[in-house]
Amino acid sequence: MTTAIPPGMERPHFIGVGGAGMSGIAKLLAQRGAAVAGSDHRASPTVAALRELGVTVGIGHLAEHLADDATCVVVSSAIRPDNPELVEAARRALPVIHRAEALAALMAGTRAIAVAGTHGKTTTTSMLAVSLTTLGRSPSYAIGGDLDTPGSNAAQGTGDLFVAEADESDRSFHHYRPEVAIILNVELDHHANYASMDEIYDSFETFVERVRPGGTLVINADQEGARKLTARLTGRPGLAVRTYGEAADADVRVVDLRPEGLTSQVTVEIDGETLTFDVSVPGRHYAHNAVAALAAGVAAGVPAAELAGALGSYTGVRRRLQLVGEAGGVRVIDSYAHHPTEMAADLEAIRSGAGAGRVLVVFQPHLFSRTQELGVEMGQALALADGCLVLEIYPAREDPIPGVTSELIIDAARRHGAEVTAVRVKDTVPDLVAGIAGPGDLVLTMGAGDVTELGPLILARLAG
C-alpha cells in the first residue's frame, strides 16, 4: 500500500478546499505528509476540520492566499477562469491540476474500487468504506459527503483497497484506473456538459474502458440506462461483468426486500449462497446500493457473508435521508436529492416510515440548467408528498437563465395535484413549517444547495 505523496504535490494549494470532493483529497494529502493549503469562500465545519489536520485555509479568494512555495494548484470544475488565485497561478506558470487528476494520483498503486452512476454514488461508496473498515481491512476512501461529522469524507488507510466516488458530471471519472467499477444507473443529467443520452453512454463506456485488465464491472440489472449500457459492453475482453438487482437474469439477485420503518432488510442470492442483512436507511434504492457494494466487495476478494454482516454497521451519510431531530412530535430529515429520480425514490422511502403522519417537503431546486431540463419531472416527484414548500433556485456555479425559475417546478407540481407554497425568502421557512406541521408528521428538507441549513432552524421553531 503506497502512502507516498504524488510528485509535484508536496505543497498543493486547493481553490475551494471546503468543497465535498476537494476537502477529501486535501485531507488525504495532508495525512500523507504534504504541506496542504487552500482557500474557500467562507468558514465552515469542514474548513475547521481541515485546519485541525494542519491545512492552512484562507477565507475568500485572493491572490495573496497562494503561498510563494506552492508546487501546484488543485481546482474543480466549479472554479471559474477569472478566480484571482487561478489567475495568479497562471502568472507564475504553476501546474494546475483538476481534482480528479489529484485523486487518480492518490489511487495509483492501490486496488481501487470506483463508484459511478447518476445518483447513489455517495451512499454506495460510504457503505463500502464503512463495511471494509468494520472488517479491519483499513481501506483508503474519498467520498462526496461526510459519513457522520465534518471532515469524515476521506481517510488514508493502511490496506491495499481504495474506495472512491467517480463523478461523471464533467467526465472527470475518465482519469481513474479501477480494479472494480460500479455503475449504479445511467440517466441524462448535467445538461451543461452532456447534450444527449448518446453522449452519456459514450462517457460511461470510456469509464469502463479504464477498468484494469482482468477487472470487474458491477452494474445495475434493473435500470433501463444501465441495461442499455451493458448491452453496448458485451464481449469486452478482459472484463468480467456482474449485474445486480431484482431482474431474473441478475448475477447477484435481490430475492426479498422488507421495509421496517426507517430501515430495511434485504435478502440476496450471490454465487449460490443466500444472505440476509439489514440496511439502516429506508427505501428500495438504498437497499440496492448496499447490494451493489456487496457485489463489488466480493469482486475485490472479500467473502460475501463477512461483507453482508458488515454492511449492517453502516448508519448513513450526512444529507442522505439523515434524521436531523424531532420536536413537537415532528421528525425532520435532510435529503441531498436534487434529480427527479432521487427525489421520487426518497419520498417513496420516507412514506414507508411516516406511518399515519404526513410527509411535508421543503425543496430547493439546484442549478438553472437542471431546472430548465427537468423542472416538470421535479414537480411530478413532489406530488408524492402531502405538501411542499419550493424555494428559489440555488445557482451554485451557474448564472441565471432567462425565464428559468422555480415556477417551472411549482406549476408542474400543481398540475399533478400537489399542495405547493412558493417561498421567496428562505428565512421564512421555519415559521411556515411550524404553521402546517403537527405531531406525527415528517418534514423533509431536500436539495443539493444550502437548504440543509434549515433543518436545525425548523426544529428550533417547532420546539419553541
Bridge partners, 461 (sequence order): none
Q: Which residues contact 365 (CB under 8 A, 6 or more apart)?
A: 338, 371, 375, 378, 390, 391, 392, 393, 394, 406, 409, 447
Q: Hey, which bits of 37-175 come out as E strands?
A: 37-40, 56-59, 72-75, 96-98, 111-116, 140-142, 154-155, 161-165
Q: Which of 27, 85, 88, 121 is catalytic?
A: 121
Q: Any binding-site annotation on 3?
A: no
Asked if residues 426 and 447 have their Cβ atoms less than 8 Å apart, the reply is no
- Among candidate residues 251, 246, 250, 283, the one with its CA nearest the CA of residue 265: 283
State yes or no: is 27 an active-site residue: no
Q: Which of 46, 101, 110, 122 is catalytic?
A: 122
Q: Which residues contact 371 (CB under 8 A, 6 or more apart)?
A: 365, 378, 393, 404, 405, 406, 408, 409
Strand order in the sheet with 140-142: 154-155, 140-142, 161-165, 111-116, 180-183, 215-220, 239-245, 252-260, 263-270, 273-279
What CA–CA distance (Å, rounded) separates 11 from 36? 6
Asked if residues 269 and 294 have their Cβ atoms less than 8 Å apart, the reply is no
What are the backbone angles phi and psi of residue 426, rounded to the nearest 5°?
Answer: -60, -35
Query: Taking the CA of residue 258 as centre, how many other CA atoms within 13 Å lie in the half-sphere pointing to its CB?
Result: 7
Tell me the pairing of strands 111-116 and 215-220.
unpaired
State yes or no: is 205 an active-site residue: no
Tell me which long-range contacts 243-249 makes (C-beta under 8 A, separation of at least 24). Answer: 243/218, 243/219, 244/218, 244/219, 244/220, 244/288, 244/291, 244/292, 244/294, 244/295, 245/220, 245/221, 245/288, 245/291, 246/221, 246/222, 247/221, 247/222, 249/221
Q: Which of 88, 101, 165, 342 is catalytic?
A: 165
State yes or no: is 121 an active-site residue: yes
Q: Any binding-site annotation on 118?
A: yes
Q: Any binding-site annotation on 228?
A: no
Q: Any binding-site annotation on 120?
A: yes
What CA–CA distance (Å, rounded) separates 25 from 153? 9
Residue keyed to cell 472479500:
302
Q: Any binding-site annotation on 301?
A: no
Catalytic residues: 121-122, 165
Summarize the annotated binding site for ATP as residue ranges: 117-123
Summarize the annotated binding site as residue ranges: 117-123
